[in-house]
Amino acid sequence: MSTLTNVDESSLPATRVDDNFGGKSGARAFKDQLARGLMWAAFIVALIPLIWILGATLVKGGQTVLDPSWWTNSQAGITSRREGGGAVHAIQGTLIQAGVTALISVPIGVLTAIYLVEYGRGRLARTVSFMVDILTGIPSIVAALFIYALWVVTFGFQRVGFAVCLALTMLMIPTVVRSTEEMLKLVPNELREASYALGVPKWKTIMKIVIPTSFSGIVTGVLLGLARVMGETAPLIILGPYTAVIATNLFDGLMPTLPSMIFQTYGESLPAAVNRTWGAALTLILLVFLLNIAGRFIGRFSKVRN
């Protein structure tokens, strides 16, 4: 048997635990601070143009937007040299087109994402994913020209607001698909497996477990898509020319929107028209902001609670 020897612990060299496990060397601490500083610098650089754009729009368009007639009147009978008039016609047109575009894009985008995440396997899934990637990179003017060739040249229809919605749908679908796809992937597989273990069919698991769990993220993706298409101008110029009067019929005549109003009034280069341009720009920013607030509200109160 070996003999145990008592050793005086005080004679052993002192070793700090953090030297081997928790401590930071000088180089690591420097790299950490450097990365932190670069992150904040990048954040500030990205924030500067945003603040500048918002500030300039508020200063130059705030007075126009604060006029009550801006929200109640159209530009009917208002010349480029005359102050006054409102943007109610353009606001209505923007909301109508955005709503119809969302009605078409959201079901297609969400169902496509569900297929890719929950069912998609093999060549068909790869083809669908590849086509979504192609749509993501298509410029808005290309989508507008495609719908123009199909709607006007091939079928012989007139340039109307619904044709604009079709072009905007091509731009919104890939955003909804990719954002929804990422949110569905974040749902833990344990939730699906627990549901399957209880004998719940796959389609009901998707409807009752997967979608409600990721609903707030899906709403955010939809709002990102809406924010993109609401500011597009090329499809409006090519497929839906501007009019200064109220027009809400997507299948008859011209269709006013805020982007087309900005494009039309800014080209006139007169003080009254420029003021209306900044007012329309600020109105569009406010609409997108309200949409995001509504989306956050819906997402917060629709989360699955334990």
Rounded Cα gap, residues 210 and 195, in angstroms = 10
Q: Exposed, middle or buried: residue 58 (CB in 10 Å: 0-12, 13-18, 19+)?
A: middle
pLDDT value for 6: 53
DSSP conformational letter for 231:
T
pLDDT value for 113: 93
pLDDT value for 109: 93
In sequence order, which residues have a C-beta less than 8 Å from that of residue 74 and are 6 or more positions away? 85, 86, 87, 88, 89, 244, 245, 246, 256
pLDDT value for 278: 92
Q: Burial code of 1-13, b = ≥16 C-beta within 10 A, e = fewer? A: eeeeeeeeeeeee
Length of the chain as a residue count: 306
CATH topology of domain 90-257: MetI-like fold (1.10.3720)
Please state the domain extents for the chain: 90-257
pLDDT value for 1: 45
299 near 219, Cβ under 8 Å? yes
Residue ranges in the chain whose pLDDT is less than 50 = 1-5, 7, 12, 17-19, 21, 306
pLDDT value for 249: 87
pLDDT value for 145: 94
Does pTM top 0.75 for this prediction? yes
pLDDT value for 170: 93
CA angle, 74 then 259 then 237, to 5°: 105
pLDDT value for 306: 45
Rounded Cα gap, residues 119 and 121, in angstroms = 6
pLDDT value for 11: 54
pLDDT value for 38: 93
Q: Burial code of 171-205, b = ≥16 C-beta within 10 A, e = fewer? A: bbbbbbbbbbbebbeebeeeebeebeeeebeeeeb
DSSP H helical ranges for the chain: 17-20, 26-66, 88-114, 122-136, 140-148, 161-185, 189-197, 202-205, 211-213, 215-230, 234-239, 258-266, 271-301
